[in-house]
Each structure stands twice: as C-alpha cells, then as structure tokens.
Amino acid sequence: MTERNKWVEKLLQWFDRTGRALPWREQKPRNPYHVWVSEIMLQQTRVDTVKTYFTEWMRRFPTIDALARAPEEEVLRLWQGLGYYSRARNLHRAAREVLLQWGGTLPRTREALRTLPGIGDYTAGAICSMAFGQKTPAVDGNLLRVLARLYALDEDVLSLAGRRKITGLAEKVIPAARPGDFNEALMDLGALICIPLNPHCDQCPLAAYCQGFQQHRASELPVRKKKAPQKEFHAVCLLVQQENAILLHKRPDKGLLASLWELPTFLAPEKNDCLLLARENFGTFGDVPLWCHKHVFSHQIWYMEAYEAETPAFPLDASYRWVAADELSALPLSGPCQRFFQDLREKRAGGKNKR
C-alpha cells in the first residue's frame, strides 16, 4: 500500500468509528433524493439546523414526485429560515424536470445530473458517489481545505488551477469500494477536526501523513485570495397598515430574495437617497424609525430602518398585496422581513427592539 492510500485507509477507519449519525444517512443503500436534498440544504447552512428542516421536508415531500407537484409558495415556506431561496426554487424546478424527463428518478451520471437546475459539480459528485457508488470526488470547501493541508499545497484553492489540482489528487485516491464514505469522511473531518481556524491536529487521524502539520503550516493553509468586500446599502422599509392588514410587496422573480414577500422596501447606497425614494413613492412619514437592523448577505450588507407610513395614493399593482396579520405565516417572507416581524412581536410583548 502506498503512503497515499494509507491516509485514505486511516480516514475510513476513523469515519467508521466516529461518523456522524444524520437523518439523511439513515437509509442503506443511500436514497439519491435524500442525498440531493441534504446536500443542497447543507450549502451555507449548519448541520444542526439542516437536521430539522430535512426531517420536515421529507415528511411533507417524501418523494421527487411529491416535491414536483407542490406549489412553489409551499416549497418556499418550508424553506423559510434557511436563506438563499434560489436553492429551494432550483430544487423545485429540478424535481419537475426529473419527473418530466426522467420519470421521477434521478439520472445516474454526473453529466446528466449537472443539467438539472441547482446541481453543480459538487452536488453531482456527492450524489454519484454516495447514492450510486461511483468514484467521483465531491469537491467542496472541506475537501479543498483538508487536501490542501495534507499535501501542503501553495496554490490558491479558489483559483481554477488550485481546484483542478486538488480534484486530480482526490480522483487518484478515492477508493472504488467506498467512494461515498470517502467523501463523507472528508466532510466530517473538515467539519469536526480539520476546521478552518486552529485545526485540532492533536486529535487528527491523519496527522502522521499530513505535510501541512509536519511543516507547522496547518493554520496558514489553504492559501486563499482575499474576497471583494461586500457592497453596502441603506434600506428603508415601510409598515403600512389598513384595519387588520399589512401591505406587502413581492420581489421580482430574479435576483436577491427573488419572489419573496417583504414590506415595501427602498434601497440606495446613501441613506438620504433611500428616504427620498421612499417619500417620493409613499408620501411623507415620520423621522423616527420603528426598527433598525443590519442584515448581512454573502455579497451585500443592508443597513435597514422601518417607518410607519400611510397607504400610498398611487394604484397598487399586482406585486402588492394586503395581508391579514394571521396570514403572514403562510407566505414566503424574505429574511429581513421575517426578522422585522419577529422583532416587532418581541417589542410588542414588552421586549426591547434589537438594534
């Protein structure tokens, strides 16, 4: 056995002893639909959070067929709280395509899987290896980090060249007998031991084979170029009420927070421009905000303020809807809008407005 394969064997032994028991790992052999949904949910979301969402999702949409036939609003409502709603929309669209083109069963090749909305290289690799036993690495941040440290690579892991190099290394060592376990073991190791900051090398089953550790460079790796800073905006939201109803606005079906409902919201880089825009559209309103909140997205930061305003004089088009307070939970609301209503409820119940 080569040195290269010895670390794989150690990794799998460690995984057999300590692999995490997770709801989507319960069925053996693995259910491709479960692998797919869990991998999409796990993008940008913590495992503990995903557990609850996954269980509820499978209760409501136990099959691809059930998901494909569900209305979009219900799919988005179940996703509420996970953020990055394009993931839910793509799951739904892909389920419909699978039903129409593949008879309700996920295709078994990486190429065919990649034609489905929301399925990229990583997810296709995860499904092919875990559900279909194919030798395809699932290259995500965990795998990139662990392998960059193991081999002490100096390439930028976010560059195409760095990614290609690591993918090539993974393809050479992924074992034919247990490709899915190899990918999951790397995910678990990356999540529990070889974590981004201060990896727990003293507890690592691979320490004897890890060049990064032996060269005392584990914490410096992987090499990454700095990301562009997030763009900052001011956002003015208007709480407009009529009897027991609140005026909500549906966002366009493309772009950030697409198709989600929110309070009428005006966005601009400068706060004064934002207020001006809101007043041009909704008339005058007071100077004291009802709510202040900083909302951080992956590429943007919104400094938000909400004000009470009057019903606008202009005719409301189809993107606006009066919604009774007890109907709010039935609509897919944007993350900032959910936060607004949560803070408002707490404030009305006597809690403090969080700023």
Among 88, 150, 237, 248, binds ligand SF4 (CB under 6 A): 150
Instruction: Pull the structure tokens for residue 298.
Output: 């992956």
Q: Which is nearer to ligand SF4, 94 or 201 (CB)?
A: 201
DSSP 201: G
Q: Which is nearer to ligand SF4, 138 or 194 (CB)?
A: 194
Q: Cβ 209 to ligand SF4, closest distance in Å? A: 8
73 among known catalytic residues: no
Q: Cβ 333 to ligand SF4, closest distance in Å? A: 40
Q: Which is nearer to ligand SF4, 208 or 330 (CB)?
A: 208
Instruction: Rule CB under 6 A: say whether 210 interacts with ligand SF4.
Output: yes
Q: Which is nearer to ligand SF4, 40 or 218 (CB)?
A: 218
Distances from the Cα of 226 to the Cα of 115, 158, 161, 217, 229, angstroms = 31, 10, 17, 19, 9
Q: Cβ 222 to ligand SF4, closest distance in Å? A: 10
Name the active-site residue from 3, 9, 26, 39.
39
One-character DSSP codes across 256-297: TTTT-EES-EEEESSHHHHHHHHHHHH----SS-SEEEEEE-
- Give yes or no for a contact between 340 and 308, defined as CB atoms under 8 angstroms apart: no
Instruction: Pull the structure tokens for residue 82.
Output: 């996970």
- CA dist 179 and 170 (Å) reads 10
Q: Which is nearer to ligand SF4, 157 or 274 (CB)?
A: 157
Per-position x/- string for 119-148, each x denoting binding to ligand SF4 as judged by CB under 6 A, each - no binding: ---------------------------x--
Instruction: Rule CB under 6 A: say whether 153 interacts with ligand SF4.
Output: no
- CA dist 151 and 221 (Å) reads 10
- Give yes or no for a contact between 264 and 307, defined as CB atoms under 8 angstroms apart: no
Peptide bond connecting 229 to the previous residue in cis, omega within 30 degrees of 0: no
Range 218-247, binding ligand SF4 (CB under 6 A): 218
Among 170, 204, 235, 274, binds ligand SF4 (CB under 6 A): 204
Phi, psi torsion values for 304, nearest 5 degrees: -105, 145
Q: What are the catalytic residues?
A: 39
- Give the interface with ligand SF4 as residue ranges (CB under 6 A): 146, 149-150, 193-194, 199-201, 204, 206-207, 210, 212-213, 218
